[in-house]
Structure 1
């Protein structure tokens, strides 16, 4: 028995229609984006700066500590 042709609901739209739908969805999502206030932006910027400084201090400490340990072991 021959396979019945796909119904109209099962047929995918052509590539140009899918690209158009994708771009429309991107625009719809960008409309939902809320710009932070100056106070929020400053607060998050300071938080990121502090985190980066702490991470740099931790990596520097590990680097110096492991370097001294290596010199102590190997001479």
Structure 2
């Protein structure tokens, strides 16, 4: 589904059905459809000069080098930052979620146990 909205530009004309890309993949698709396939292929491939020197740009070429303690501290800081974004359930929600999980587990145990007993009785009747 595309995002269709009525917009009014500065000069006053109305345009309908404006679809905006929401991420990298949709931007890549729109770029690929607007340009030729050959130019897209050359954009995605590294140049022959980069292949000859063997150098890679960015963090892709690092391969985990660097001070492991600094990386560990950075990782822990990122973990704490992500945990701060979490919306934690309150006591009532936690009790509800726990009871739902326990009821589901008890149901699955009884269902599988019933199937097990049925198969045992069936095998005993068939080969008994």
Per the normalisation by structure 2, the TM-score is 0.47
The answer to whether 1:49 aligns with 2:102 is yes
Change (3 A) 1:18 1:65: same
Q: Which has the higher helix share?
A: 1
CA distance in 1 between counterparts of 2:120 and 2:101 reads 28
> SS state of the match for residue 36, structure 1?
coil
Higher relative contact order (CA 8 A, sep 6+): 2
Aligned ranges 1:9-28 → 2 under 5 Å: 12=62, 14-16=66-68, 17-28=70-81
TM-score of the superposed pair, with normalisation by structure 1: 0.74
Separation of aligned partners in 2, 1:59 and 1:73: 21
Backbone CA RMSD of aligned residues: 2.7
The reply on whether 1:34 has 2:97 as its aligned counterpart is no
Residues 13-22 or 24-33, more deviating: 13-22
C-alpha deviation, 1:55, in angstroms: 0.2
* Alpha-carbon offset, residue 6 of structure 1: 7.2
Distance, in Å, in 1 between the alignment partners of 2:95 and 2:87 is: 16
Deviation at 1:15, TM superposition (A): 3.1
Give the whole-Å Cα distance in 1 for the aligned partners of 2:116 and 2:56: 64
Displacement, 1:50?
1.0
Runs of at least 4 residues off by over 3 Å: 9-13
